[in-house]
Amino acid sequence: METNTPGETPNSPAPEITAVQKETAPAAEVVPAPLAPVNEIILSDGRKALILSGKGKHAQEAMDQSEGKSKLYMATLMAQLVTIDNKDIVPEDLAELSMQDYNKIFARFAAINF
- What is the domain range of residue 59? 37-113
pLDDT digits (tens, 9 = 90+) for 36-82: 557 999 999 999 999 999 999 999 999 999 998 988 999 999 999 99
Please indicate, yes or no, if residue 2 is contained in any of the structural domains.
Answer: no
Please indicate, yes or no, if residue 94 is contained in any of the structural domains.
Answer: yes
The pLDDT assigned to 38 comes to 75
Sheet with 48-51: list strands edge to edge: 40-42, 48-51, 82-84, 87-88
Number of domains in the chain: 1
Please indicate, yes or no, if residue 31 is contained in any of the structural domains.
Answer: no
The percent of residues in the chain predicted with pLDDT above 90, rounded, is 62
Mean pLDDT, rounded, for 6-31: 60
